[in-house]
Structure 1
């Protein structure tokens, strides 16, 4: 299939051929049999055309037909469809999973993929008519039980993403190897050169809020590549950090050893549910999204159990609106299938309800920083696209490039549209020092 990449911001500007390995990408290589999906394909075409007619998009079909509110202008983001039959067959069969797989297969492109996806994200609750939304429970796929984050499954779920290759993640992460939202002085204008400082600013704020200093006993749930543990140890804390990623532990240990902090940091391959001990501060950055909603009570009960009297817990969490979380919590999505199996993004209401029902923890401080994640993701995507030839040398193919680009732009669109947020949440017990029962007002930065 010949595909013209027309993304003005970061995609390739030449024509190429998408060669799809059916063994590696079975869901992408095989278009649903169109004769069997005829009714669903026609319904998908009708719903799609009806939806985009209300959106600020210019949708270009292979036969020259134009749809969307941008049908008479080139100023709006363009979605360029190369194979409409395949796109609608996938939409009819797999919904939004099919939409992402169609992009991976090169059946459609965009003038600016993030802007196109942002338009869809801003209207996600209204894309399907309300009269049909009641059918969601019987028409969408549910998350497979084999991907639930039980103690048996979680390690393989984590490995599918974080053990891809340390060399791969080094291609687009900054020198701190931090894979979460940075905190910029100005997220509208921040450049790549500011990203490392933004990551330190984010980490330092969490450490400050948790009171981490000389002699503090710190537990980190989710090591990443070690930057938070390193920053805490450099303050004089003693850190125990747990992860299920073998690759991340390997690089984290290397970085810790190079800085001479082995005596202050212990990194373990260990499920958070198996941690024992007592800690003055517990920190966890963008790990709750991988827990799975069935295990949120377990996660917070464990934090409450391990937190010393007067201690503080601080987490950074991606969040979504509560009504959308309830509507989609059992849905099997493109992100589950290709990026993060087994997880769910929580809402602030769900976190508050879970902690108040299951634990003695209460939210003491809430700090919102969604625009900062949109900028972080843009910087990652630009660097990823600029350096993907190096990823090819590591064994990553063209379908992977399109998958990862879709993931990064899809995520950026979620934060840019306001559909997703990211919060730093600080917890303490009401009877502890500085532990009010009512949360402080959220700040937006």
Structure 2
């Protein structure tokens, strides 16, 4: 993916501008600054669907205004103006350009909802809180009779997003090769991009790095990684799990399709003087070679795509030595929600993870069984991911100047903030979960 071009510096806005002058936090204090965006300033080449409004659709816009507007009012999310004195508790959502907001939502649903935020047409004093309220009532936003007609108004996923070998490389580059320095603006020093495991909430008395090490150690303990273990990792990240496994005496082969991640992981491994124990391969999981005592794959299945889950589990099973174990960390959603999402082009699939799909527990169980694997343990800890995402979002917000220096414009920054808050809301509302599974050979039960 080409690095986003930097647009002109945001200018102070008058009170009646698309980005209001008086956003306030829940207690009435000014909210944290959000990179200002005016639609007229958006780079139309980089962000074509944000820079321009969709063509007028009077019926869809009217329906969106009626259904979404009524839902926002019912959920006490609507604020009449940016500077209104609101005393009710809870997050608020402010429409800076209501006509544009409802036109986008009417035309493109949740994609339009996100693009409207990117365009600065709405904001919130508590973005994650507002999205959590919406996520917790997602089934109430559209009446049941209209939900049955969803195929008439949702957009199908682009065929080009499928994770063929070429498609997978392209999709991974789109996200993970943005910039190692960008990810460093919000990840902890371990550069671990998956859910941590905390001792308490909120996480005020331990570092995110220690919580990430706790997560990694639990996975390594699950599969008994120690001196001499032959370990396969599918999905290298920036190398922290491989480093900790090698420090235990394991010999690690770790696979990634991200050139940026591979380069930095190798540098970190060399700095730790563990090059003789860790082999970082720029290789598709379908081409994994060798047999291993243990395999670990952390939040990789979500990037595989439903069409290739059989190949993913087959690769894990094929590379496992007799008696070997697999530790899998996976985000999950309800099965019916997964089926709907699989058929729908979403904000996340358009802007963040093209080709990705979060599986259901049922889908994982089905594909494990088909590959000749059975589940020995399955533990969920979704509240830990909500906390992880909160910390990432706060770090990203605090380091916006660094993102700007790297060339990521205000529209990208609002997109990334929305992605992190949207994900956090999914876990806080229990729409999403994250689980650690222990798999081994045999019939699934």
Superposed displacement of residue 429, structure 1: 1.7
Whole-angstrom distance in 1 between the partners of 2:270 and 2:281: 15
User: 284, 294, 299: which one pairs with 1:286?
Assistant: 299
Listed one character per residue, the Cα deviations across residues 292-333 of structure 1 (whole Å, up to 9, x for unaligned) are 011111111111111111000111000111121122211100
In structure 1, the partner of 2:411 is 399
User: 192, 210, 216: which one pairs with 1:203?
Assistant: 216
In structure 2, the partner of 1:245 is 258
Listed one character per residue, the Cα deviations across residues 2-40 of structure 1 (whole Å, up to 9, x for unaligned) are 413736397307977563100110010011122xx1111
In structure 2, the partner of 1:306 is 319
Q: Secondary structure at the match of 1:316?
A: strand
In structure 1, the partner of 2:71 is 51
Alignment of 1:234 onto 2:250 = no
Whole-angstrom distance in 2 between the partners of 1:410 and 1:14: 17
In structure 2, the partner of 1:147 is 161
User: 96, 108, 111: which one pairs with 2:110?
Assistant: 96
Whole-angstrom distance in 2 between the partners of 1:60 and 1:265: 54
Whole-angstrom distance in 1 between the partners of 2:36 and 2:185: 24
User: 10, 16, 19: which one pairs with 1:3?
Assistant: 19
Superposed displacement of residue 111, structure 1: 1.2
CA 151–227 in structure 1, closer or farther in 2 if over 3 Å, else same: same
In structure 1, the partner of 2:4 is none
Whole-angstrom distance in 2 between the partners of 1:73 and 1:135: 39
Whole-angstrom distance in 1 between the partners of 2:440 and 2:205: 35
Which shifted more, 122-131 or 92-101? 122-131
Query: Counterparts of 1:367-406 in structure 2 under 5 Å?
Result: 367-406=379-418
Superposed displacement of residue 127, structure 1: 1.4
Superposed displacement of residue 134, structure 1: 1.3
Listed one character per residue, the Cα deviations across residues 227-258 of structure 1 (whole Å, up to 9, x for unaligned) are 00011111111100010101000100000000
Whole-angstrom distance in 1 between the partners of 2:318 and 2:290: 9
CA 167–15 in structure 1, closer or farther in 2 if over 3 Å, else same: closer
Superposed displacement of residue 193, structure 1: 4.9
Whole-angstrom distance in 2 between the partners of 1:59 and 1:20: 26
Count of residues in correspondence between the two structures? 423
Contact 1:222–1:242, Cα closer than 8 Å, also in 2:
yes
Superposed displacement of residue 74, structure 1: 2.5
Gaps of 5+ in 1: 432-436, 439-445
Q: Secondary structure at the match of 1:410?
A: helix
Whole-angstrom distance in 2 between the partners of 1:323 and 1:32: 30
Whole-angstrom distance in 2 between the partners of 1:33 and 1:143: 21
CA 159–270 in structure 1, closer or farther in 2 if over 3 Å, else same: same
In structure 2, the partner of 1:121 is 135
Contact 1:62–1:83, Cα closer than 8 Å, also in 2:
no
Which shifted more, 382-391 or 45-54? 45-54
Whole-angstrom distance in 2 between the partners of 1:63 and 1:336: 31
Whole-angstrom distance in 2 between the partners of 1:341 and 1:289: 11
TM-score scaled by length of structure 1 = 0.91
CA 192–49 in structure 1, closer or farther in 2 if over 3 Å, else same: same
Query: Counterparts of 1:321-400 in structure 2 under 5 Å?
Result: 321-356=334-369, 358-400=370-412
Whole-angstrom distance in 2 between the partners of 1:141 and 1:93: 10
Q: Secondary structure at the match of 2:322?
A: strand
Q: Secondary structure at the match of 1:153?
A: helix
**CA RMSD, aligned part only?**
2.0
Q: Secondary structure at the match of 2:436?
A: strand
CA 201–95 in structure 1, closer or farther in 2 if over 3 Å, else same: same
Q: Secondary structure at the match of 1:233?
A: helix
Identify the structure with bigger relative contact order (alpha carbons < 8 Å, sequence gap 6+): 2
CA 272–63 in structure 1, closer or farther in 2 if over 3 Å, else same: closer
TM-score scaled by length of structure 2 = 0.91
Which shifted more, 12-21 or 102-111? 12-21
Superposed displacement of residue 171, structure 1: 1.1
CA 13–412 in structure 1, closer or farther in 2 if over 3 Å, else same: closer
Which shifted more, 253-262 or 166-175? 166-175
Whole-angstrom distance in 2 between the partners of 1:14 and 1:392: 10
CA 72–111 in structure 1, closer or farther in 2 if over 3 Å, else same: closer
Whole-angstrom distance in 2 between the partners of 1:182 and 1:361: 26
Runs of 4+ in 1 over 4 A off after TM superposition: 13-18, 61-64
Q: Secondary structure at the match of 2:185?
A: helix
In structure 2, the partner of 1:409 is 421
